[in-house]
Amino acid sequence: MRLALKALVASCALLVLACALASSRAAGTRAENEPVVDAAPCLGAIAAAADDKIITDCGALIDNDKAARADRIKALTARGGALARQGQAGRAITDYDALLQLDPTLADVFNARGELHWKQEDRPHALADFSAALRLDPNHPAAKDNYRRLALELERLGAMMAVKGQPSFNCATARRAIEKTICADPDLADLDREIMAVNTGLLRAARSKPSVVRDLAREQDEFVARRNASFGRPGYDLATAMRERLDHLRSMQPP
């Protein structure tokens, strides 16, 4: 009885060992059959600075989680930059998102992503990215400049919103029909205010040239007089006349 039991135990042990060996061989076979990621095409495209090749050849490297982390970081950085240069901001941002998950210490990438958000007029995300870049590198020159310019833009936009729909004159004292019409139409009111603002800027820039100041003032007076006289006549389009005046004034602004 004891001999039979020992034989049974030995048999089971051999069976377990055989199963383990088979499993090990199968695992080894699977590992051998898994495709090896060849980083050479992507890295070669990066070295050649060939944007089209970077976009096509780096995909396999980026999409394979088993690729070396350093290689994936290089590939994402390069492809994100190539996509940005080709105007594919959305795809570039997606690459930078993945890149910053791999390495959240890349100030350059935060700044680059912020610039793309800014181009898409996503100012809150742009400001957050520039801030993140500066937290990582307080002296990052591009991020410092971008943060400063965006902050000024936000301040200007805030000021514009505060006066949006308000003309250059006080509507409470408006007497002429044309003035009341401008006050009643936010778009016309904005045009009137912008005309006055650009004209004032031109006058200020030319203050050292009295003859130019006189010409600008006379031209603006003539426009207002012509506008007031033409308003209400058949075929006269006030909005078109004001836009043409604004475009003319802007064409005189220095580059």
pLDDT per residue over 50-72, tens digit each? 889 989 888 888 888 888 889 88
Residues 6+ apart with CB under 8 A from 133: 107, 108, 110, 111, 114, 140, 143
pLDDT, residue 163, reads: 63
Residue type, 240: T
DSSP secondary structure of 174-229: --SHHHHHHHH-HHHHHHHHHHHHHHHHHHHHTTT-HHHHHHHHHHHHHHHHHHHH
Q: Would you call 76 helix, strand, or coil by DSSP?
A: helix
pLDDT, residue 35, reads: 54
Assessment of whether the complete model's pTM goes beyond 0.85: no
Which of 130, 136, 83 lies closest to 106, judged by CA?
A: 136
pLDDT, residue 30, reads: 42
pLDDT, residue 155, reads: 72
How confident is the model over 114-161, as pLDDT tens digits? 999 989 888 888 888 989 999 999 999 999 998 888 888 777 766 555
Which of 90, 85, 110 lies closest to 100, judged by CA?
A: 110
For helices 210-230 and 186-205, angle between their N-to-C axes, nearest 10 degrees: 160
Residues of the chain with pLDDT under 70: 1-36, 157-163, 255
pLDDT, residue 121, reads: 85
What is the spatial distance between Cα 109 and Cα 151, in angstroms, rounded to a whole number? 20
pLDDT, residue 43, reads: 87
What is the spatial distance between Cα 174 and Cα 213, in angstroms, rounded to a whole number? 27
Residues 6+ apart with CB under 8 A from 30: none
pLDDT, residue 161, reads: 58
pLDDT, residue 159, reads: 57
pLDDT, residue 109, reads: 94
pLDDT, residue 3, reads: 42
